C-alpha cells in the first residue's frame, strides 16, 4: 500500500477514535490484509440509499435530522473542534433501528480552523451540491464550522424531500454558479401533507444555508431547536443518566469552546519500511488493532469532557439527554422495553400500547415501543398491526411498520391483506408503500376478490394503474365468476373499463350464469359503458345469459330506456326470446316499464308474441296491474280477446288479481262475461278473490250475476253483499 494512502487511512482512524459518541461511527481496529478500517456494521446502510428506497415517516425524518445535528455538535465541541467537511447522506449511516452514525472522516480537519493545501477537483472537494458558496468563491478560505452547517442544511433538504439536490442539473459548473448566486434547492418538493413542525424545520434549514456564514446558526443552536422533534423515552433517559453517574466523575461547569484559528498539526513521522502494526503502535490516539470489548471502546479523550448528568447544564451545546447517550460505546438502545415478569412474547399491556399508538397515529410512540417480535403481532380480530394501521388510515405508522419488515401478505379473518384494505379505502399513499414491497398482488379474500376488484368497484384509476403496473391479473374471478372488468361494468366505472380495455381484457369472458360485462352494464343502465362495449370487436349485442336473456332483455326489465334504444340502434334482436320464450316486450310489460315498451313497439316488437306460459304482453301487464302499460298496448291495438293460460283473457287476469283500474280499462261488452276453461267469468274470479272494488266495477258495467258467483263469497263479505244486491 502506498505510504500516502496508509497515512490517510491512519489519520482517518485516528479522528474516528477520538470522536467516540453515540451518533459517530466507531472504529474497532485496522485490518492489514486487506487493508482497511474495521467499523461497526450498519444494517440499514447509508441515508442516501434509504432516502431513495421508500417514503419515510416524518417522525423518523425528524429523528435523523436531530441525531445528525447532535453528532455534528459533538464534533464541533471537541477540543480542538473536528470539522467533517464532507457531510452528506452518503456519509450518514443508519443501524438496524434507523439510528444515525456519522462516518467517513477522510476529509475531516481536526486542527480547527485551517487552510487546505491538498484540495482536489481544482481546489474543491466533497460533493459539489453540499459545498457552501464561500468555499466555491474563495478556494483559499479558512475552514470553519459554518461549512458543516451549510452542508447540514442541504442534508436536511434531502431528508425532508427525499430527493437529491440539483438532481436535474447535470453540469457541475452550473450548480456552482447557482449556489454562488444564492440559489438553493427548491422547497416545493417537500412532500404532500406534512406535520406542522416541518415548517419550523424548513425555516431552520433556510437559516443554515444562508449566504453569509455569520448568519448561520451553530450546531449548539440547531440541536436546541431540533430536540423537541425527537424526545427520548423517559425510562431510557433515566437509565442512561444513572449509568453516566457511575462512569463519569462530575465535571466543572464550562461554556462551549469558541472555535479559533489554530495551526495545522504536523503529521506524525514514520519509517517507510515499518509494518502496519508498527505504525499503529506509534499513534498517540490509542487506536486498537483488535476489539478488546465494549468497555475498551468506551474510553476516549472525548469522554472526559462529558458533564455529570445531574449538572442540569449543557456542555458544548450537547444536551444532558444527548450526553447520556454519548459514552456507552457505539451500540445504542433502540427499544423502550416494557417491564414483564415472564417476558415470554408480547404482554397484554404492550399489545394495548401498540394498538393505541397505531390507532391514534402516534408514530413517535410506536417508534419507541415497537419490538422485533411485535411487528407481525396478531391482534384479537385476527389482524396484524399493519392491517390496523391501514384501516385507521395512519400512513406514517404504515411506513414505520414496513421499515421494520412487517409482512404485507398476512391476512385477517376475512382473508384480506393490507393491500385489500388500502385499495378498498382508496388510501393512495399506503397503496404505493405496499406495492413497493414484495407483495402477493393477486391474493384473494374470502369472496375471492383481489385488490384489483376493489379498485374496479371504486373507480380508483390511480390504484388500478399501480396494480396493473405491478402485473396484477385482469382475469382473476370472484366467487360469482366476476373479473375486475365485470365489476367495473356493474358499478359504472367507465374510466376503469377503458383502462382495462387498453390492457387487452377479454370483453367476452363469461362469469356466473354466462354473464359477460355487457350484461352487467345493461342491467345497471350504464349507457356510456354499454356504448363502449357494444362497439368492441367480437362483442355480440345478442349474447345470452344462461337463462337466455340478452342485454336488451336486461335493459327492458330494469326500464333503462336509453340503454334499450342504443342496443336497438346497434341492431340488437328485438324479438329474441329467453328460456321462458319471453321477448324484451314481454319483460317490459311484465315489469311495467311503459316508455321502454313503447320504444320496443315502435321499433317493431311483436304485440301478440306468446310466452311459454301462453301470455301476450297485454296479459302480463294486466296480471301485474300496470295500468299505463295496458293503456299503451290497447292503444297499439293489442288483442284484448286473446286467450292465455287456462283460456283466460287479460280481463280475467286483472280481475283475479283485483286490479280494478285495469279492469276499468279492459272492460267491454265483448269480454265482460266470457268464461275461462273452468267456466268462470271475470266477475267470478273477482268474487273468488274477494276484491270488492273490482266486483263493483264489473257490476257497474253489467256483468251477469249467478249463484256460481255467490258460492265463492262468505255470507258477510263486501263482495257477497254487492252480488246479492245486484241479484235482487
C-alpha cell at 638: 293489442
CA distance 567 to 556: 11
Per the CB < 8 A criterion, the answer to whether 24 and 274 are in contact is no
C-alpha cell at 579: 328460456
Give the residue numbers marked as catalytic: 86
Residue 668 exposed, middle or buried by CB count within 10 Å (0-12, 13-18, 19+): exposed
* Crossing angle (nearest 10°) for helices 561-569 and 527-534: 20
C-alpha cell at 537: 370487436
* pLDDT band at residue 565 using 50, 70 and 90 as cut-offs: very high
Residue 499 exposed, middle or buried by CB count within 10 Å (0-12, 13-18, 19+): buried
| CATH among 1.10.1740.10, 1.10.150.20, 3.40.50.300, 1.10.510.10 for 1-333 | 1.10.510.10
For residues 528, 530, 536, 542, the Cα torsion angle rounded to the nearest 10 degrees is -160
Per cent of the chain over pLDDT 90 is 61
Residue holding cell 422485533?
Answer: 372
pLDDT tens column, 493-547: 999 999 999 999 999 999 999 999 999 999 999 999 999 999 999 899 999 999 9
Which long-range contacts (C-beta less than 8 Å, at least 24 apart) are formed by 243-248? 243/324, 243/328, 244/306, 244/308, 244/309, 244/323, 244/324, 244/327, 245/308, 245/309, 245/310, 247/298, 247/327, 248/303, 248/306, 248/307, 248/308, 248/309, 248/327
Averaged pLDDT for residues 285-290: 38
Average pLDDT, the chain: 81
* Total-model pTM: 0.75
Averaged pLDDT for residues 261-285: 40
* pLDDT band at residue 119 using 50, 70 and 90 as cut-offs: very low
Lowest mean pLDDT among 15-19, 219-223, 489-493, 585-589: 15-19
pLDDT tens column, 581-593: 999 999 999 999 9
CA distance 399 to 404: 9
pLDDT tens column, 667-692: 986 888 899 999 999 999 999 899 99
- Residue 79's pLDDT is 82
CA distance 334 to 422: 29
* pLDDT band at residue 335 using 50, 70 and 90 as cut-offs: very low
Per the CB < 8 A criterion, the answer to whether 568 and 603 are in contact is yes
Amino acid at each position: 500500500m502506498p505510504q500516502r494512502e496508509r497515512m490517510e487511512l491512519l489519520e482517518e482512524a485516528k479522528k474516528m477514535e477520538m470522536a467516540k459518541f453515540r451518533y459517530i461511527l466507531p472504529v474497532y481496529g485496522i485490518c492489514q490484509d486487506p487493508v482497511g478500517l474495521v467499523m461497526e456494521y450498519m444494517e440499514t446502510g447509508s441515508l442516501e440509499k434509504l432516502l431513495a428506497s421508500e417514503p419515510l415517516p416524518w417522525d423518523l425524518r425528524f429523528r435523523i435530522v436531530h441525531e445528525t445535528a447532535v453528532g455534528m455538535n459533538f464534533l464541533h465541541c471537541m477540543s480542538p473542534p473536528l470539522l467533517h467537511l464532507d457531510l452528506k447522506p452518503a456519509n450518514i449511516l443508519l443501524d438496524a433501528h434507523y439510528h444515525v452514525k456519522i462516518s467517513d472522516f477522510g476529509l475531516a480537519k481536526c486542527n480547527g480552523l485551517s487552510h487546505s493545501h491538498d484540495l482536489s477537483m481544482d481546489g474543491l472537494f466533497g460533493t459539489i451540491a453540499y459545498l457552501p458558496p464561500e468555499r466555491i468563491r474563495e478556494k483559499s478560505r479558512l475552514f470553519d464550522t459554518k461549512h458543516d452547517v451549510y452542508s447540514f442544511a442541504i442534508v436536511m433538504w434531502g431528508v425532508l424531500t427525499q430527493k437529491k439536490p440539483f438532481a436535474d442539473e447535470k453540469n457541475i459548473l452550473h450548480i456552482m454558479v447557482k449556489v454562488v448566486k444564492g440559489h438553493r434547492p427548491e422547497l416545493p418538493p417537500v412532500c404532500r401533507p406534512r406535520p406542522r413542525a416541518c415548517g419550523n424545520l424548513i425555516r431552520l434549514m433556510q437559516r443554515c444555508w444562508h449566504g453569509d456564514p455569520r448568519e448561520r446558526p451553530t450546531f449548539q443552536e440547531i440541536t436546541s431547536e431540533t430536540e423537541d422533534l425527537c424526545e427520548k423515552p423517559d425510562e431510557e433517559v433515566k437509565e442512561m443518566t444513572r449509568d453516566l453517574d457511575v462512569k463519569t466523575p462530575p465535571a466543572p461547569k464550562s461554556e462551549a469552546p469558541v472555535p479559533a484559528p489554530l495551526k495545522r498539526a504536523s503529521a506524525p513521522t514514520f519509517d517507510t519500511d515499518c509494518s502496519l502494526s508498527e505504525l499503529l503502535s506509534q499513534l498517540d490516539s490509542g487506536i486498537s488493532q483488535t476489539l478488546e470489548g465494549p468497555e475498551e471502546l468506551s474510553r476516549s479523550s472525548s469522554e472526559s469532557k462529558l458533564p455529570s448528568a445531574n449538572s442540569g447544564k449543557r456542555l458544548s451545546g450537547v444536551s444532558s439527554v444527548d450526553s447520556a447517550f454519548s459514552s456507552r460505546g457505539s451500540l445504542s438502545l433502540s427499544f423502550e422495553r416494557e417491564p414483564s415478569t415472564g417476558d415470554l412474547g408480547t404482554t397484554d399491556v404492550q399489545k394495548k400500547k401498540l394498538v393505541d399508538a397505531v390507532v391514534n397515529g402516534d408514530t413517535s410512540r410506536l417508534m419507541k415501543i415497537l419490538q422485533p417480535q411485535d411487528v407481525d403481532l396478531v391482534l384479537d380480530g385476527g389482524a396484524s398491526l399493519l392491517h390496523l394501521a391501514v384501516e385507521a388510515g395512519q400512513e406514517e405508522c404504515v411506513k414505520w411498520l414496513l421499515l421494520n419488515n412487517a409482512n404485507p401478505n398476512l391476512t385477517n379473518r376475512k382473508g384480506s391483506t393490507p393491500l385489500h384494505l388500502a385499495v378498498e379505502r382508496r388510501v393512495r399513499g399506503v397503496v404505493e408503500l405496499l406495492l413497493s414491497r414484495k407483495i402477493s398482488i393477486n391474493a384473494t379474500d374470502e369472496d375471492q376478490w383481489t385488490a384489483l376488484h376493489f379498485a374496479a368497484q371504486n373507480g380508483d384509476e390511480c390504484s388500478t394503474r399501480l396494480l396493473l403496473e405491478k402485473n396484477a391479473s385482469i382475469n382473476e374471478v370472484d366467487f360469482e365468476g366476476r373479473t375486475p372488468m365485470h365489476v367495473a361494468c356493474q358499478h359504472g366505472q367507465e374510466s376503469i373499463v377503458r383502462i382495462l380495455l387498453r390492457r387487452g381484457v377479454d370483453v367476452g369472458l363469461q362469469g356466473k350464469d354466462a354473464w359477460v360485462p355487457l350484461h352487467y352494464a345493461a342491467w345497471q343502465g350504464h349507457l356510456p359503458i354499454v356504448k363502449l362495449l357494444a362497439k368492441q370487436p367480437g362483442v355480440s349485442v345478442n349474447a345470452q345469459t344462461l337463462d337466455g336473456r340478452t342485454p336488451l332483455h336486461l335493459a327492458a326489465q330494469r326500464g333503462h330506456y336509453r340503454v334499450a334504444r342504443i342496443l336497438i340502434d346497434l341492431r340488437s334482436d328485438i324479438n329474441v326470446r329467453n328460456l321462458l320464450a319471453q321477448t324484451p316486450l314481454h319483460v317490459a310489460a311484465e315489469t311495467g316499464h311503459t316508455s321502454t315498451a313503447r320504444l320496443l313497439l315502435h321499433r317493431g316488437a311483436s304485440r301478440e308474441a306468446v310466452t311459454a306460459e301462453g301470455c301476450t304482453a297485454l296479459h302480463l301487464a294486466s296480471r301485474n296491474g300496470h295500468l299505463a302499460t295496458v293503456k299503451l298496448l290497447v292503444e297499439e291495438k293489442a288483442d284484448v280477446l286473446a286467450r292465455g293460460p287456462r283460456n283466460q283473457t287479460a280481463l280475467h287476469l286483472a280481475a283475479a288479481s283485483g286490479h280494478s283500474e285495469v279492469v276499468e280499462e279492459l272492460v267491454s261488452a265483448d269480454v265482460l262475461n266470457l268464461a275461462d276453461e273452468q267456466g268462470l267469468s271475470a266477475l267470478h274470479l273477482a268474487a273468488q278473490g274477494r276484491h270488492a272494488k273490482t266486483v263493483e266495477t264489473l257490476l257497474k258495467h253489467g256483468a251477469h250475476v249467478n249463484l256460481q258467483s255467490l258460492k265463492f263469497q262468505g255470507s258477510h263479505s263486501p263482495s257477497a253483499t254487492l252480488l246479492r244486491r245486484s241479484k235482487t
